[in-house]
Structure formats: C-alpha cells, structure tokens
Structure 1
Amino acid sequence: MILITIAQKFLPVCSNIIVNFTCRTGSSDPYCIVKIDNEAIIRTATIWKTLSPFWGEEYTVHLPPYFRTVSFYVLDEDSLSRDDVIGKVSISKEVLTAKPQGVDGWMNLTEIDPDEEVQGEIHLQISVLGYGDIPRKLCCQVLEARDLAKKDRNGASDPFVRVRYNGKTYESVVKKSCYPRWNESFEFELDETLADTGLLSVEVWDWDLVSRNDFLGKVTVQNRHFLESLEIWFRGFPHVLKRHTILKEGTLGSLRLQLRLRDEVVLTSSHYKPLTELLSQSVGSQLNGNWPDFIMLIDETTTAESRQEVANNLVKLFLGQGLVKEFLDVLFKLELEKTTEPNTLFRSNSLASKSMESFLKVAGMQYLHRLLGPIINRIFEEKKYVELDPSKLELKEAGCAGLHRQQTESDIIQQSSSLLQSYLSELLTSILQSASYCPLLICQVFHQLYLRVQERFSDPDLQAAHSNVKFIAVTSFLCLRFISPAIMSPKLFHLREKHADARTSRTLLLLAKAVQTIGNMDTLACCSKEPWMVCLQPAIQQGITQLKDFITKLVSCHKSEDLELQTRMSLQCGTMEKEGFLFLHRTKDKCMPMKSPFKKYCVTLSKDTLSYSRTQHSKKSSFISLPKIRAVEKVEEKCFGSANVMQIISSEDSGQQETLYLDCKSVNELNHWLSALRKACSHNTNTMSCYHPGIYKADRWSCCHQKEKSDPGCDKTRHGVTLQEWYDPLDADLEAQLIYQRLRSVKHAMRYCSINILGLYQKKVDGLSKLFSILQDLHDAHAAVEEEERSKNKNVFLELQT
C-alpha cells in the first residue's frame, strides 16, 4: 500500500489529491512511477522479490489548474536490461472532480498500448482564404509541436506531420526532435457542403526506416470551426483506429487506490484574519481560566475519517500564529477530562493524539534525523541476520558459524540478542544525548503534557500505582508514535532513500518492538505475549530507567537560560534550506565539451542564494542570487545521457543569461531539488514562460534545432509543479482556507453540539453566532471571486478538441 498525497498550491486556487494504493502483480521486483500528464514526479522504492508489494509512501504535490490525468505505472526493475512495464492505472481530472469524496477501491492494471500513450501539443493556425465568387480554400499552417513522446533510442523522435482534408493528404518530417518546428502551410479546397461532418485531421508520427512508424498524436477540427481564423495549441489524443489485443481484465494485477482531488480558492490574508483571531482567542481564553469553546466544538464534531487532516491544518495554523503550545495544551486538558483509566491515556486516535503526531512531524523531523540517522545507517550497512522468534528462524539465512560447523538455533538467538542489545544501547545513548539539541518548542510541549498528567493523577492513595503515568504520557508520543514508526519504516520518514530488504526489515522491526516495550514501561506485558523477547529483558529494564532520566531532563529544558538552547527554535519548520552533493556544470558562452562536464560539488539552498563548493565546509564558494533565477526545469535525457539533469537559468546584472546544470542521482532527488528551488523563487517577477529542454551545442539547440542561442524556448515552463516537504514554510492562508471549509461543512453539527452535548458539561459556547457570521462572510467572498472568474472567462475561446 502506498499513501501518496498529491496536492496543489497555486493562487488563487489550490487542489489536493490524496492517493493510497496497494499493488498485486506478477512482478518480482516492482516499483511505481506516478505521472501528472506524462511528467514523472514520483518514483517509489523497489520492493524486492514479492508479488504483493506494500509501499506506504506519502507525498504532497502542488500542481497548476490545467493538469488532466494522474497515472500510476507499475514496473519490474531489472539490473541487466530495461525495466519492464507491467501495466498502469490512469485517472482523469474529470473523474476526480465528479467524486469530491474521492475514489477508493481496487483498480485493475491495464496493458500499455503504444497508440494510447500520447503526450505533447501541436501549434496550428487555421484560416479560410478567398471571397465572393473566388473558390474558398482552407489553409492549415502547422507551426510547431512540443513535448512529443520519445520513441527512438537516442531519446528523441523523427516526427512527421500528416494533414488530411477532403481526400487530400500532405506530409512533412523533422529529424531527431521532440520539439519540431515545421512552419509549413497546406491548402485544401474547402467543401462547404460537408457542414459538421467535415474534419481536418492532423496526425503526428515517428518516422522509422526499418520498423513501422510509431503514432505520436492526433488532432481533428470540425468544418464549422473554419468560418473564423484561429491559432491555438491543440493537445493530441490517442489513435482510435488501431488497437492492440487487450489481455483479460485483471490478469496484470491491481492497485488499491484511495484518490481525492481538492480544488480550493485561496483568498487574501485579510479575509481569514477574523477566523484566525477567533480561534486564537479560543486557545488563549484558557490562560484566563475560561473554557476553550470553539476548540471543544471542533473536537466533538470531527469524524474519525477527517481527524488527521483537521489535526494537520490546526497544528500548522497555530504554529503560524505562535500558539501551537497553547493549542496542544487545550487538547491535553480536554483529553484528560474524558480519561479515567491512565492505561488508555492518549492511546486512541483522538484529535489530541493526531495533533501531537502532526506537531512532531512538522517541528521535530530534523531532530529525528539527527537522533536516528547513525543507528539506521549502521543497520542498513551491516545487514546482519537477526531473529529471536524460534518459529521464524532460518538456518540457511544465518550461514555458518565456522568453516565446517552449521549454526544451531541457540547460536543464532544468542548472536541476535547480542546484536539487538548493541543496537538498543547505541540508540538509548543517542536518545539520552538528544536532550541538548531537542527543539525548545518540543521541550515546552512535553513539559506541559508532563505537568497536566501529573496534576490529573495526583491522588495520594494511588500515587504509587500512577508513578509512571506522567512518563508514559510523553513516551506514548515520543516513542510509540514517532521514534518507533521511523525505525520500522525509515523510508517514510526520509531517513533512507529506499525501503529495507526483508532481512534488514526484520532487524528494524525487532528494534522497534524493544523501543515500544521501553516506551510502555512494562516488560511483563511484552514477555507474556512474546516470550522469546525475554532475552532482552535486562537491556529493556535498563532502558526504562535511562528513558525516565531523559524525560526528566527533557521537560526541564524549558527553564534553561542558555542562549544556544533558546536558538534551537530554528530547528522547527519554516526554513527553506536544502543541502547535498550533486554533479554540477556551469556555462556562460562556453561551448559544451565533448566529455562529461560535470564535477561533484556540495550544493546549498539557503534563504537568498544557491551556493556550491567543492567540499561541505569550504569557505570559497560560488553562488546564484535567488531573485535572479528565471526558470528551473528538466533537461532532455539525450543531452547528457542522464534522465535526471536539471537546469537553472539566471540573469546577470548585465542582462546576460547563464545556465547551471545539476545531475541528480534519481528522479526523486531531481524533483525534490526542482521543487525546493521553484518554491524559493515563487515570488520572482522576471520568470520565463518557455524554455529549451535541450542544450545549445554545435551552433544550434538540440531540442528544436533553432540556430540562434537567444531563440525563444520551445517548451512551456512548469514552475507551478512542486512537492510539499516537511521543512516547507507554513502557508497560513491555505491552512485557514482548509479550516474554513471544514467548519462550514459541520456548521449544523456544531450548532447541535453546542446545545445538546456541551450542555451536559454545563458549558456554554459564547460567540457561536460570531463564528457563523465569519463563515458567511468568507462564503460571500468566495462567491464574489467565482463570479469575477466567470465574467473573465465569458468571452474566452474554448479549446477545440474532439
């Protein structure tokens, strides 16, 4: 199962797609490629030697409003030859729009039909010549095409255009280009008797000398549209005349998809100010002894299905307002009032639990990486066989103890116990040392939680029985919901680029179990369920003592006056920084060298600049000022023999244009860097609307064959496509919009709750009418924006496409 969040952020509209899928295929080493309109944006990790892969990967993608389809390709990785495509699932934007609640279920993979795999656009100018008694002619000028499919081994195609009308056909070819420029006109006798049945057909094919020609796309225009001259980019569609034999449905396997599209109009900040102020007052009211009425209403009216999403939005909103500590304290208070049994405290998927999970992921990811990175890397590199459960032991996997002696079960268990204790000891040492660099905000939140629980269970008669509750409250989040999940699935927390193999996964699972047992602070319960864990009991018992010491130190950190401690607030979200080693080539007026021009540099993206140096700590470095960047785009594979090269086009003060090329290790690393740079340059004003995906070499552009270096680009820029990362700056307006939509959808439930449910607690919601008035004002503001958009689009010519 893969959890992929594909979201969109563009002004004034925001669209979110949430995807969750599992795959059943006949492949042995499957992975998935997720494409938006034939643009690969995500590659999942390969799951080795399995027929039922589980990925569980989560992504959020911001897209422009004109995307058409989301496609999932399942491939079988092959180290010796080209990866085999098993099948795909494609879902159109129209299907997602028609189902606002989302698509949820198993979907059969379909066979890849080459004549259906159409991408790209063609630029046509159509006009009618002749007046009066002069016979009228239809003139079709084929100007250019862009982003055509790559059909040849050289990473390009040899596209020829075939124009047909009224029984007459013209053809023209351009060699080795996916961005051909024909600039040719074709004239036909206009048959006005054909009315709506007359069609102008424009097909594009890849010319091949030996094998059959490959279909690239087709456009048809009806006769009735010839009365007016028009010039437009047409999107190609599949060839309906040719079909391959389709396999029986379901034979390729299936994907379980949970897919939802959300389009949101994001207003200006002034529209959301009354709502954020009202929610902030509700959180701040408890400081004066008042009841946090609106937060309690949201808690009571949030369903299990939407709780995680609501928690994410509220945490980010209050982080932006500087009130996340107070917000979480309100939820702790509400949760503790409902709980009478300390053993179940914060164990349910309540709004408090979900909000703390979200908070830790947003504010604590850098802390988690520093804490777990060394031990996770050690386990991945050593790949030791570790197993404690006798029913799961495999002697063949363990290998030989010596030259002639096979290991026994007791040997393996003893060896595994020693290894796990070693890993656990290293991890606990790292946890103990982490109090010095844990973000101050996290320390403060855990301090509040610690005190709230201590106050709630302070009965002197039960003090001995409840002595561990205040520690377990902290570990239930820190260990059970943050550290342990990251150990079990390091890929999902960005600790590793790939999923672990079966052997490493088992080691990680056993280590996570030990951490969970320590977090529960109850060795007897674990050993009764899994008696084979008894061998770790001394290490676990020692770990419980160490963890208590750590928590005591952690919740006291908020009192420190140390300046370094106070500056640890910078570790929370909101920083747009990225660093890594990439292969780099910079060019001004230089000719592209014949050999590989790339050299390894440490590249750093900071708030204002993109800098690079030969070593990570080198003092001498070159940099590009972010406001001078005009485009950040991919480069064609044929240019450098790599599919993961990006280009950064910037302008110098003199007006001269400069291009920096970066070669990344994978499509995911490529898209992460593209995304980070695009977001960092989102407010640049002098951006390019088109660019060259090729390179200028041998006095011409490799993509469209134009000879002038200053020639306008042949492909449109995709600066609207970005990936959401945990270190992204907060978008307060977007979060406020999502909360507004949520409150509006439960407006009637909130009214009912305020009268019938909160009355049982003898609580009264003050200002509920004010909240409803604010929601109505936002509704009216959205209606005004929609009306303005309709008036703008009233006279816009719609794209002609059959």
Structure 2
Amino acid sequence: MKRKASYLQRKRERKKKIKEGKFGLPTGSSDPYCIVRIDNEAIIRTATIWKTLSPFWGEEYNVHLPPSFHNVSFHVLDEDSLSRDDVIGKVSISKEALAAKPQGIDGWMNLTEIDPDEEVQGEIHLKVSVLGKGYAPKILRCHVFEARCGAARRISYFIKVSYFYFIQVVKKSCYPRWNESFEFELDEASADTPLSVEVWDWDLVSKNDFLGRVLFNINRLQSAQQEEGWFRLGPDKPKHSQGTLGSLRLKLMLRDEMVLPSSHYQPLVELLCQSVGGNLPELMMLIDETTTAESRQEVATNLIKLFLGQGLVKEFLDVLFKLELDKTGEPNTLFRSNSLASKSMESFLKVAGMQYLHRLLGPTINRIFEEKKYVELDPNKVELKEAGCAGLHRVQTEADVIQQSAGHLQSYLFDLIHAIVQSAVYCPTSLCQTFRQLYQRVQERFPEKEYRKVKYIAVTSFLCLRFISPAIMSPKLFHLREKHADARTSRTLLLLAKAIQTIGNLDTLACFSKEPWMVPLQPAIQQGIAQLKDFITRLVSCDDSEDLGLQARMSLQCGSMEKEGFLFLHRTKDKCMLMTSPFKKYFVTLGKDTLSYARTQHSKKSSFIPLPKIRAVEKVEEKSFGSANVMQIISEDNGQMETLYLDCKSVNELNQWLSALRKACIHNTDTMSSYHPGIYKGDRWSCCHQKDKADAGCDKTRHGVTLQEWYDPLDPDLESQLIFRHLIGVRQAMRAEGKCNEPALTSCTCCPSLADEERLDGVRRFFKVLQDLQDAHQAVEEEAERSRNKNFLLELQT
C-alpha cells in the first residue's frame, strides 16, 4: 500500500463558497455565523454578521480531503455573548450528491432542524457472512469487533444486532472493543428483511441515546458470501421540521484528481513554457479564446502558479497583455472586462502581493475598525441620531454631520495615499517588473498624445480598482481582519474605497457627476491623483538586475510555509502529570525544518521539535481541557513518544495551525494511523478509558484534511493536473461542436487566429500531449482497479 501511495497520489479538493442566507427567526434579528463540518469535524468558522436576518458572507475556502470522507455540512448559529449560541439549522450534503454534479452546486438550500439522532458520526468494524451450503440451513453470522464514535461525550456503549424478529445485545463497554459473534438462522422467505447493527449509549438515569446504525441487504450478502471492514454509522429516520428555518446560498464543487508523477506532465509543461517563450504563441491563443467565463478565474490561478514555479510568470502575463491589446480598439475599456489577462493579473497580485497589501493597508484599516466613527456624505442617508450631539447644548445638523464626515474621510484618505506613495520601496520586485512591462506595452499600443493617461490607468486598473479598493471594502476576505465590519464601519470603508477608485481612474469629473455628494473629498482626491501618477512613474522604474524567476521561486517555495504567533502550550512526556493550569504563553514559529517556541517573540528559542520526528497532528476533545480549540503534536524522541498541546483562540486559528503542520510533515514516514483524542490522566485515557498508556488509539488520524491558503507552497504537479483537466474539457467541447478535426486538424473554426499550417502544427502537438496524458491516467486507473479487486481491504482507511 505504501509503494502504491508513493506512485499514485490522490488529492481531493472541495471548493466551498459560503455566500449569503435568509433566516426565518421569530425575533426579527440575529447575529449569524456558519460552522463548516466535514464528517462532523469543525473545519471552518465564518465571521459573525451582526443584527441581520439576511447576512452576506462571501467567504471562499478550499479544503483538501482524504477519499474516505462522507459528507459536508453547514451549521448556522446565532452568536450570543451571554449564553450558549443558539442553533438555527443546517444544510448537509453527501459526497455522493456532490460527485453526481461535477460542475458543482450553486444555489439556495433550505435549512433543516438539527436533530440529535441525525448527528451521529463514527464507524463500526464488522464481519458479516453467510454460512452453509446445499440443503443445509444457512446461518447468518455477525462478528462485532470494535467501534469508533465521534460523539462528544459517551459513558457506556452497547450494540443491538437484529434480524427479522430476533434481537441480540452486546454487553455494555466503556471502551468499545467487543470481539463477539452472533448467529441467526437465515429465513429465505424474508430475504428482504435487512440485518441491522445499532450502536447505543446506555444511560442509567434516562432513556438510552441512539448513536447510529448499519443495515445489510441479505440478497446481496448471499451473493458476496461475506463483507468485512469499517462501516459508517448512519442516522435513524430523519425528522422533518415544521415551517421554514430559512435558506443558505452555497457554491460547492468536489474534485477527485489523480495526480501522476512529474515525468508525465513534463511534455505539457514544456509546451506551455514554449507558448510564452515566443516559440509557440498559438497555444496561448487557443487557451485564451476557448476558456469560458465560468472557468476563467480558476484557469488563470492555475496558470499563474504553474508559471511562477517555472520562473516565467512575467513572460506569461506579457503574452496575455499583448493578446488583450491586439483585441482592444477603445483604450477607455482596456482591461475592464473579465478576460483571461485580467483574471490572471488579479490572481498574480493575490499570490505574490498579499504581504505587500497587508503592510500597505493594515494600519489604516485597523484605525478605522478601532475608531468606529460615524461617516456619511450622502444627505439622503444621514441619520442624526447615529451622529450624536455636536456639544452639550446643540444637536448636530445635517451639514455638521457631512462636514465632520468629510474631515474623517480626508484623514483616512491622506494616510492611505501617503502609504501608497511610500510603498514603492518595499513593493515586491515581481510586481514592479510586471507593472513596468504592462506600462510599456500600453504605451507602445497607444502612443498618441491624447492617450497619454492610458498607460497610468492600465496600472491603476489592477493595483487600485482590482486589488486595493476591494481589500478596503472587504478586509475580511483579504485576511486583513478576522471579522467582518459592522454597518457603521462598512459604510466608512465603502466611501473610502469609492475615493480610491476615483483616484485610480485618474478622473474626478465622472465620479462627481454620478455622485455629487462626494465633492467634499475633491481636494484630497485631486492631490491623490497627482501623487499616484508620480508613484507609478517610480514603480515602473524598478531595477531589472534581479532575476524575477529566482525571486518568485524563493519567496513562494521556501518562505511561504513559515507560520508564527502566540499560543498557549503544555508539553508532557511519558511520566509527566497534567497540572491544574498547564498552559503557558509562548511565541511559536513553524520554520522549514522545525517547530520552535520561546517566551517572547525576539528571545532565543527555548525548545524545538524537528518536523521529521512528528508522528501525528490532531485535535483534542473539548472535555479534556475545557476548550474546543486545543490540538496535539505527537512526536518521537529516542523511541519515546512526547505530546505537545497547543491552545488556540478560535477554531479558524486551530485549523490553520493544523493545516500548516500537516503540510510541513506531508513527507514524514512512520506516521500514526490512530490516536487518542483525549488525555491520559490518572491511570487511563479520558476518551476511551483504556488503562494502557501505550495503546495505539481509539480514533483514526486525519493527515489528509488541510486548508489551501494563498501563501501555500507551489505544487507543480497538481497545477499541471488541473490545467490538463480543463484542457481536456475544452477539447471535448470542440469535438462535440465539430470545430476541430482531430487528429488531422486541418482547421479550427473556434480560433480564427489559427489559420496557417505552421500555427496548426503546434496545436496538433498540443493535442497529442493531451492524448498521451489521458492514456497515462487510464492506465493508472485500470491498475488501481485491479489492485482493489485483488484485495479490497487494502483500500480501507484506518
């Protein structure tokens, strides 16, 4: 199995975009947020939207999952600062439902009531077989080995095994490992009656709690003779809620990608590199002209990451700039559409410029959030009760509020313009050089004197309109703040973003003609336009001596995995007892080779764990320390296992650290397949009450669950696979519409720019490479299928 895994790497990527919701609560208002769960494990918590029944989140996540996951659910809760948060409802979607729609799910989904009997999670290890041949009575045997239940608190488990009218019960056990067999005489007349195995929580005081069940079809069992393995516990019959709880708008896509060894992708990567190196421009034309609006953003991001890894991102963007300029006759519309060039430049800014953006905007955004001043320029929206009083004996007038608001906005705007102007010295070289080549290409295309501003606008259309301004409006989506802004702060951010857009357009008249109430900001905007043009001139005059490819690879591959911050830590060795207050505050740093921590940020690191020695990185159940955000790092030192516990401030911080550590340890050997989610206290484990401290564990590890972040290291094979998958879809669509005649390929009606024989020859090579890759995938899939047929148990995830 390990040999196979080293050759064939499977990655599942779930793309989830939580957009908005409508909730039918009787109170008239709520403070809603979402918890995203994978098989009942909380992975993501969205920000809280205050005082609304129609929240808008707009948050987007990518999560890599192991093949063994079963469903994803979105739990909507109402935050309450005085008591436990109220549960509004949930949306649950199975893996099968997502796999049935490879194009993804996008739309409104009704919330359902959360019933404890439906929230069961866990697995049970069973062996069910049919014994007896010929005319002898057949016996149905069920062997119960053990169970793994994901419920938060369990006292004592028992099992009900039932067939027809016969029920047998396995004895109670705090540590669910029974290893007992039960037999029933098979009733041929009742073959439609399933065999049922139920898991219950025995309660001495009140009624027993149902934990889940597994049903076996007798007809199918007689054909197979035997089924063995870990079976997922399913819910009881669902209870439908009366009335409506509201709905949630979601966009989800599940992809099951088979990533081949690098050698298989090398011909495709070489062709793509030739397409931006000047030897095969027709290939990039083909991709540009056949990419649909729905897939353009994803294709752009994948191409940007691939060319960053190859050190050719500047050349790639330059090709797209030229293609866009050749198609544009009106300079005022340049790069304003959602073309492949625009989307690629957006992706490049987010991947290579996010740290620059944080340094640029961070101080001003934090100041706005902290001051929470009432700001409004539109007379139709001024609310005097929100603005407060001007003095002890005078109520503010509308003019007072507008004048005061203009003063606040000008102060924020001056700070922001000053930060932009001063940022040329620390703007990444890769961004400077890319903006320089964009500036030069536009100047070459529109050299006329009346278009002298177009080269500046081309730069500001990306830097200001597509990068800085969206980050000001939604700082949460650009990781500038952990929470969304309240209504008052949101209005301030929106007005400030409008001012930056006006400055980026280098035209005040258009803005003031549409929104004349923005006139009080005219002096600051005019000054900002003059300073911005000066800034762009300096920005595009960067030094060409530094190698862009080397700089991009060094920043994105070597330094991007590092993570640091203050956490509460407790380390326990084999003989160490847990103290009453075991956690102490440390500054933790995840480097390239080690995880280290010290009492302060700048002090010498007091302790460290070599990353190759880490055997598992997992969560700790809430009852262990009274916190739901504790994780554990299990490492091996001279044959002795040590555990480091880390207490995080939120579920998002917890999962970010889990994800970063799992990515850093992805190539570790001898990792653990199971672990204890509890702690060893007294003489037993708190999770399963097992007394043997060296016991392997009662829950399976989740090495494969990671979050995809903008600062992740590049994964060239995965990016190549995603581009290949997209291009295969393009080729199939072209074939279906009869636009390309393969393999001869004498014409290509969907790409009018590919007309002559020399250009078509490159496209023929491209289609040949795609076919070879498709054949390689098919061969690996057939080999994997043969392996599954030879030994089914090799595919079980334990």
What is the TM-score with the length of structure 1 in the denominator?
A: 0.91
User: Is the CA contact (8 Å cut-off) linking 1:428 and 1:543 kept in structure 2?
Assistant: yes
Equivalent in the alignment of 1:173: 172
8 Å CA contact 1:387–1:506 kept in 2: the answer is: yes
User: Counterparts of 1:218-297 in structure 2 under 5 Å?
Assistant: 218-222=213-217, 225=221, 231-240=228-237, 244=239, 246-248=241-243, 251-285=244-278, 292-297=281-286
Alignment CA distance shift 1:437-1:564 (3 Å): farther
CA distance in 1, matches of 2:410, 2:614: 51
Q: Partners in 2 of 1:400 and 1:158 — Cα distance?
A: 63
Looking at structure 1, the residues matched to 348 and 234 of structure 2 have their Cα atoms a distance apart, in angstroms, of 45
Deviation (angstroms), 1:266 = 1.1
In the alignment, which residue of structure 2 is the partner of 1:479? 464
In the alignment, the residues of structure 1 paired with residue 273 and residue 595 of structure 2 have an alpha-carbon distance, to the nearest angstrom, of 37
Q: Distance in 2 between matches of 1:569 and 1:233?
A: 43
- 1:533 and 2:522 correspond: no
- Show the 5 A alignment for 1:119-198: 119-126=121-128, 140-150=142-152, 155-165=153-163, 166-175=165-174, 180-183=175-178, 185=180, 187-188=182-183, 190-191=185-186, 193=188, 196-197=191-192
Secondary structure, counterpart of 1:234 in structure 2? strand
Question: Residues 167 and 620 (structure 1 numbering): CA distance in 2 closer, same or farther, change over 3 Å?
Answer: closer
AA at the equivalent of 1:688: M
Helix, strand or coil at the partner of 2:587? strand
- Per-residue displacement from partner, 1:303-354 (whole Å, max 9, x unpaired)? 1111111111111111111100000011111111111222111111111100
Residue by residue over 1:3-40, the C-alpha shift from the partner in whole angstroms, topping out at 9 and shown as x without a partner, is xxxxxx99533333333442111351111111111121
Q: Which secondary structure does the structure 2 equivalent of 1:217 belong to? A: strand
Q: Say if 2:142 and 2:181, in contact at 8 Å, map to a contact too.
A: yes
Native 8 Å contact 1:366 1:571 kept in 2: no
Give CA deviations for 1:768-788 in whole Å, capped at 9, x if unaligned. 211111111111101101111
2:314 aligned to 313, 318, 325, which one? 325
In the other structure, the counterpart of 2:597 is 612
Look up the match of 2:3.
Answer: none
- Kindly tell me: are residues 173 and 148 of structure 1, through their superposed partners in 2, closer, same or farther at Cα, counting changes over 3 Å? farther
Q: Is the 8 A contact 1:700 1:706 kept in 2?
A: yes
Counterpart in 2 of 1:4? none
Separation in 2, partners of 1:350, 1:18: 22
Check the 8 A contact 2:15/2:63 in 1, yes or no: no
**In the TM superposition, what is the alpha-carbon distance from 1:587 to its structure 2 partner?**
0.9
Q: Which moved more, 1:609-618 or 1:193-202?
A: 193-202
Counterpart check, 1:758 vs 2:753 = yes
Q: CA deviation at 1:214?
A: 2.1
SS at match of 2:451: coil
1:396 aligned onto 2:385: yes
Q: Separation in 2 of the partners of 1:436 and 1:99?
A: 48
1:513 aligned partner, one-letter code: K
2:24 matched residue in structure 1: 26
Deviation at 1:456? 1.2
Q: 1:72 aligns with which of 71, 74, 83?
A: 74
Q: What is the correspondence of 1:198-597 to structure 2 with a 5 Å cutoff?
A: 199-222=194-217, 225=221, 231-240=228-237, 244=239, 246-248=241-243, 251-285=244-278, 292-459=281-448, 463=449, 465-559=450-544, 570-572=554-556, 575-597=560-582
2:691 pairs with 1:707: yes
Deviation at 1:210, TM superposition (A): 3.9
- Residue 54 of structure 1 is matched in structure 2 by 56
Q: 1:10 to 1:45 in 2, by over 3 A?
A: farther
Task: Quote how far apart the aligned CAs of 1:571 are.
Answer: 4.3
Question: How many angstroms apart in 2 are the aligned matches of 1:564 and 1:474?
Answer: 19
Question: In 2, Cα distance between the equivalents of 1:550 and 1:572?
Answer: 26
Distance in 1 (CA, whole Å) between partners of 2:583 and 2:21 is 38
* 1:788 is the counterpart of 2:783: yes
Post-superposition shift, 1:168?
A: 3.6
The CA deviation string for residues 539-567 of structure 1, in whole angstroms up to 9 with x for no partner, is 01111111111111111123477x99997
Over 3 Å counting, the alpha-carbon distance change for 1:712 and 1:376 in structure 2 is same
Post-superposition offset of 1:134: 11
C-alpha spacing 1:527/1:383, structure 2 compared with 1 (3 Å): same
Partner of 1:617: helix, strand, or coil?
coil
**Per-residue Cα deviation, 1:57-107 (whole angstroms, up to 9, x for no partner):** 011100111222121111111122222221111111212222222222222
Using the aligned pairs only, state the percent identity: 70
Instruction: Name the SS of the counterpart of 2:347 in structure 1.
Output: helix
Letter in 2 for 1:449: L
Asked whether the 8 Å contact 2:15–2:60 carries over to 1, the reply is: no
Q: 1:565 to 1:412 in 2, by over 3 A?
A: farther
**Residue 722 (structure 2) aligns with:** 738
SS in structure 1 at match of 2:117: coil
Cα RMSD after superposing both structures: 2.8
CA distance in 1, matches of 2:549, 2:9: 40
User: Does the aligned pair in 1 maintain the 2:346–2:467 contact within 8 Å?
Assistant: yes
Task: Report the CA distance shift for 1:96/1:471 in structure 2 as closer, same or farther (over 3 A).
Answer: same
Change over 3 Å in CA distance of 1:53–1:101 after alignment to 2: same
Do the aligned residues in 2 keep the contact of 1:475 with 1:520 (CA within 8 Å)?
yes
Go from structure 1 to structure 2 and tell me whether the alpha carbon gap of 1:236 and 1:549 turns closer, same or farther (over 3 Å shift): same
Q: Secondary structure at the match of 2:56?
A: coil
CA distance in 1, matches of 2:632, 2:763: 53
Query: Which one of the candidate residues 694, 701, 707 is aligned to 2:678?
Result: 694
The residue number in structure 2 matching 1:717 is 701
Gaps of 5+ in 2: 1-5
Q: Distance in 1 between matches of 2:581 and 2:432?
A: 49
Give the AA of the match of 1:682: I
- Give, in whole Å, the separation in 2 of the partners of 1:663 and 1:130: 56
* 1:728 alignment counterpart: 712
Q: 1:140 to 1:559 in 2, by over 3 A?
A: closer
Amino acid at match of 2:313: V
What CA distance in whole angstroms lies between the structure 1 residues aligned with 2:460 and 2:80?
A: 43
Give the residue type in structure 1 aligned to 2:413. Answer: L
Partner-residue secondary structure (3-state), 2:241: coil
The answer to whether the 8 Å contact 1:336/1:453 transfers is yes
Task: Pick the aligned partner of 1:42 from 37, 41, 44.
Answer: 44
What is the one-letter code of the residue matched to 1:311?
A
> 2 CA distance for matches of 1:222 and 1:620?
59
Higher mean C-alpha deviation, range 640-649 or range 12-21:
12-21
Q: Deviations over 1:637-663 (max 9, x none)?
A: 0000011110001111x1111111111
Q: CA deviation at 1:135?
A: 9.3
For 2:89, the equivalent position in structure 1 comes to: 87
Partner of 1:56, secondary structure, is: strand
- CA deviations 1:244-267 (Å, max 9, x no partner) are 45314xx11112232222222111
Q: Check 1:140–1:745 CA distance in 2 against 1; reply closer, same or farther (3 A cut).
A: closer
* CA apart distance, 1:412: 1.4
Q: Is the 8 A contact 1:439 1:569 kept in 2?
A: no
Measure the CA separation in 1 of the matches of 2:439 and 2:32: 45
Matching residue's letter, 1:715: D
Q: Per-residue deviation at 1:764? A: 3.4
Q: Which residue of the other structure, out of 1, 9, 12, is the alignment partner of 1:12? A: 9
Alignment check: 8 A CA contact 2:311 2:549 kept: no
What residue in structure 2 maps to residue 3 of structure 1?
none
Change (3 A) 1:739 1:195: same
Once the two structures are overlaid, the 10-residue window that deviates more, 354-363 or 386-395, is 386-395
